[in-house]
Amino acid sequence: MIGALLRAATRFLVGGHARWQGCAPSSAQRIYFANHSSHLDTLILWAALPEDLRPTTHPVAAQDYWGKGRLRRHIATKVLNAVLVDRSTRHDPLAPLRAALDRGHSLILFPEGTRSSATEPGRFKGGLHHLARDYPAVELVPVHLTNLARAYPKGAILPAPIVCTASFGAPIALAADETKPAFLERARQAVRTLGDVQ
């Protein structure tokens, strides 16, 4: 019920339309990786997926933010079905992500690690590379989220009525001899290029 209300409110305020430019919706196991500029990013990308894919597609969210307070944690874990990551732990922060992938589920990942107000995606952290290396059968789908920083910037109380889109590109894969920095930059460019063709 809450999920339906959130999706309806988001669609009414900022659109959140999906553009499948390089692939089509599929039940194939995937990691959707996107630029990150707003707290609405997770909701927009999750809501852009077909309804039948949402139960097995888990947004990855920071526990230090989304785990605070009953309402925020409820929305993250019960409504969005998110995987919470403890960024302060000395243990493997990717362990919850691996557990979801081991169950055959998909993920929504923001490789920058934190929100950025820059017009282009920032440097990607290494988690995407580790997952690509350890789960070669999982499709890696770049996604560019447009206008989210304008619709819901840091410090905003309510989102502004600006049309936002989620553009899904062609899957990429880690090449056998590709270095970690080269792969992460290629992944970043795949997201950036989708933004260029809006």
Look at residue 177 and tell me whether its pLDDT is greater than 70: yes
pLDDT digits (tens, 9 = 90+) for 88-111: 767 788 999 999 999 999 999 999
- H-helix or E-strand containing 160? none
Most confident of 23-32, 48-57, 72-81, 84-93: 23-32
List the domain boundaries for the chain: 2-196
What is the model's pTM? 0.85
CB-based contacts of 136, cutoff 8 Å, min separation 6? 173, 174
| pLDDT on residue 151 | 45
Tokens of 143: 């996604």
User: What pLDDT score does 15 carry?
Assistant: 52
pLDDT tens-digit profile of 110-169?
Answer: 998 765 666 678 899 999 999 999 999 999 999 998 855 554 455 545 454 556 788 999
pLDDT tens string 31-69: 999 998 776 788 888 888 998 999 999 999 888 877 788
At residue 42, the pLDDT reads 83
pLDDT for 14 equals 45
Question: Would you say the C-alpha torsion 119, 123, 126, 129 has a positive or negative sign?
Answer: positive
| One CATH from 3.40.50.1100, 3.40.1130.10, 3.30.360.10, 3.40.50.1000 for 2-196 | 3.40.1130.10
Separation CA 18–CA 72 (nearest Å): 25
pLDDT, residue 63, reads: 85
Q: Which two tokens stand for residue 19?
A: 């553009």
Provide the edge-to-edge strand list for the sheet that holds 83-85. 15-20, 164-168, 139-146, 30-34, 106-109, 57-62, 83-85
User: How far is Cα 188 from Cα 182, in angstroms, rounded to an integer?
Assistant: 10
Average pLDDT over residues 1-5: 53
Rounded CA-CA distance 113/126 in Å is 10
Give the DSSP H or E segment for 16. strand 15-20
Torsion angle in degrees (nearest 10) through CA of 81, 109, 121, 65: 50
